[in-house]
């Protein structure tokens, strides 16, 4: 969808989980919008929550001064507010209702010519639905999981890889000192990109990801092999969505008020307990949790987020709505939101980095490998 209408007012929201680089995107939109194009910019507070409850504030250039290096988002975020399935009290009863029509009315009342939605697959899915309702929408791809289709990389991913890699580096020393099997549980939901990249970068001996079902017998035997051949410690990097053959993902809790109610977590403890039981080796689990998504963005993500933000504003100015800037090769190119969300981007079992890791002796738990 395109339009030649003069753009005068736009709004930005950051949806889903926070991650490093969000503020860099906001900055890259706000500054040129104001200074180069005379556009008024509004920030919706706490993602789609601000759209539902009509909470927006006018952004000035000073609001984005000095935010490039800050993690998180100055606008706030929420991963529980879905305008198409929102929990609210109706006639004294809690019900789930579609309030998207009221959100569209608010957008029109505010005179916003475009809505820029920064987020992962959940945020972009809702953005696409608003586009179908006639709202001029542009998406910006964000997630530490790197599971959004149509873009090679999402901003936030590299920062999370750096944090997770440093954690593995630090756990190496204590694992070596105490001759332990050290399990590191990482985020990623249903995709193993974060664990794969951090595992390879940190020299993990075992990498367990959702895309490759693992056999605990194989993992246990691998740990024993290392112990018996002079390698008295083992580092296991496990994604929160990894699961054993014939088994299920470990669910920490279910949040019914969230668009994605399943919260994974706990596989690290399961793997540690099983290894200890089967081998007699001391095994400890460390869950990195939200440490992976906090803190300052690394330079790569600052640059990528800035490029995405600038490209998003360009799409608005060109009237190319229903689109999202994506990184393909070295270039930022526009893709449709439909292409961006049609399926999760998962790690292929024959991915080049998986093959590299296997050749270096890394165990993925699906076949017997000597260390």
Residue 92: which CATH number?
Answer: 3.40.50.450
**Phi and psi (nearest 5°) for 158?**
-65, -35
Gap between the Cα atoms of 137 and 127, Å rounded: 6
Cβ burial of 177 (10 Å; 0-12, 13-18, 19+) is: exposed
* DSSP 8-state assignment for residue 125: H
pLDDT at 249: 80
Q: Is 145 a catalytic residue?
A: yes
Are both 311 and 175 inside the same structural domain?
Answer: no
Spatial neighbors of 110 by CB under 8 A, at least 6 apart, are: 9, 11, 42, 56
Q: What percent of the chain has pLDDT over 90?
A: 82
What pLDDT score was predicted for residue 257? Answer: 59
21 and 71 both lie in a single domain:
yes
pLDDT tens per residue across span 243-284: 999 888 888 766 655 656 677 778 999 999 999 999 999 999
Question: Which pLDDT band, with edges at 50, 70 and 90, does 62 fall under?
Answer: very high
How many other C-beta atoms can be found within 10 angstroms of the C-beta atom of residue 348? 10
Is it the case that residue 370 has pLDDT exceeding 70? Answer: no
pLDDT of residue 248: 87
pLDDT recorded at residue 1: 44
pLDDT one-digit tens code per residue, 157-184: 999 999 999 999 999 999 888 889 999 9
Question: What is the structure's pLDDT at 4?
Answer: 52
Helix (H, G, I), strand (E, B) or coil at 245: coil
pLDDT digits (tens, 9 = 90+) for 19-36: 999 999 999 999 999 999
Give the total number of structural domains in the chain.
Answer: 2
What CATH number did the domain enclosing 188 receive?
3.40.50.460
Q: What is the pLDDT at residue 255?
A: 63
How far, in Å, CA of 279 to CA of 265, rounded? 24
Q: Are residues 20 and 77 in the same domain?
A: yes
Q: Please report which confidence band the pLDDT of residue 371 belongs to, taking 50, 70 and 90 as the band edges.
A: very low
Bridge partner residues of 86 (DSSP):
97
Mean pLDDT of the chain: 93
Mean pLDDT confidence for 106-130: 96
My answer on whether 186 and 263 are in the same domain is yes
Q: Which domain holds residue 98?
A: 9-155+297-329
Pairing type for strands 40-44 and 56-59 reads: antiparallel
Give the per-residue pLDDT at 237: 98
pLDDT at position 2 over 50: no
Does residue 317 sit in the same domain as residue 352?
A: no
Taking each continuous run of H as one helix and of E as one strand, the counts in the chain are 11, 15
91, pLDDT greater than 90: no
∠ Cα 186 364 156 (to 5°) = 30
Euclidean distance between CA atoms 88 and 78, whole angstroms: 16
pLDDT attached to residue 258: 60
Residues 13 and 151 in one domain: yes
The answer to whether position 88 is within a domain reads: yes
Task: Answer yes or no: is 364 within a domain.
Answer: no
Name which of 115-119, 176-180, 325-329 the model is least confident about. Answer: 176-180
User: Which tens digits make up the pLDDT trace of 222-235?
Assistant: 999 999 988 889 99
Structural domain contains residue 338: no
Q: Do both 309 and 248 map to the same domain?
A: no
pLDDT, residue 253, reads 67
- What whole-number distance in Å separates Cα of residue 14 and Cα of residue 17? 9
Choose the catalytic residue: 18, 46, 145, 205.
145
In this structure, are 207 and 355 located in the same domain? yes
Mean predicted confidence (pLDDT) in 92-113: 94
User: Would residue 85 count as lying in a domain?
Assistant: yes
């Amino acid at each position: 969808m395109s339009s030649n209408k003069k753009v005068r007012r736009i709004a930005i929201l950051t949806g889903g989980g926070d991650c490093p680089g969000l503020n860099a995107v906001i900055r890259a939109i706000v500054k040129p919008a104001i200074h180069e194009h005379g556009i008024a910019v509004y920030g919706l507070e706490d993602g789609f929550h601000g759209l539902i409850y009509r909470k927006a504030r006018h952004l000035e250039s000073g609001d984005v001064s000095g935010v490039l290096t800050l993690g998180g988002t100055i606008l706030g975020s929420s991963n529980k507010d879905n305008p198409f399935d929102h929990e609210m009290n109706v006639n004294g009863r809690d019900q789930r209702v579609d309030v998207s029509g009221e959100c569209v009315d608010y957008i029109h009342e505010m005179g916003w010519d475009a809505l820029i939605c920064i987020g992962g697959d959940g945020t972009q899915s809702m953005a696409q639905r608003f586009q179908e309702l006639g709202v001029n929408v542009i998406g910006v791809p964000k997630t530490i999981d790197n599971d959004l289709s149509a873009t090679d990389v999402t901003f936030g991913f590299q920062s999370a890889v750096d944090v997770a890699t440093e954690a593995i580096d630090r756990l190496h020393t204590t694992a070596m000192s105490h001759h332990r099997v050290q399990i590191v549980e990482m985020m990623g939901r249903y995709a193993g990109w974060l664990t794969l990249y951090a595992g390879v970068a940190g020299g993990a001996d075992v990498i367990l990801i959702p895309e490759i079902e693992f056999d605990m017998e194989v993992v246990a035997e691998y740990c024993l092999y290392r112990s018996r051949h002079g390698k008295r410690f083992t580092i296991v990097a496990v994604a929160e969505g990894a699961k054993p053959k014939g088994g299920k993902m470990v669910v920490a809790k279910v949040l019914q008020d969230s668009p994605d109610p399943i919260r994974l977590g706990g596989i690290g403890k399961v793997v540690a307990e099983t290894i200890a039981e089967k081998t007699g080796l001391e095994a400890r689990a460390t869950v990195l949790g939200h440490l992976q998504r906090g803190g300052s963005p690394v330079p790569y993500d600052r640059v990528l987020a800035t490029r995405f933000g600038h490209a998003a504003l360009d799409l608005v100015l060109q009237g190319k709505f229903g689109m999202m800037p994506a990184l393909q090769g070295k270039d930022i190119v526009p893709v449709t939101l439909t292409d961006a969300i049609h399926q999760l981007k998962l790690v292929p079992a024959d991915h080049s980095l998986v093959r590299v890791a296997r050749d270096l002796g890394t165990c993925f738990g699906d076949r017997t490998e000597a260390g």
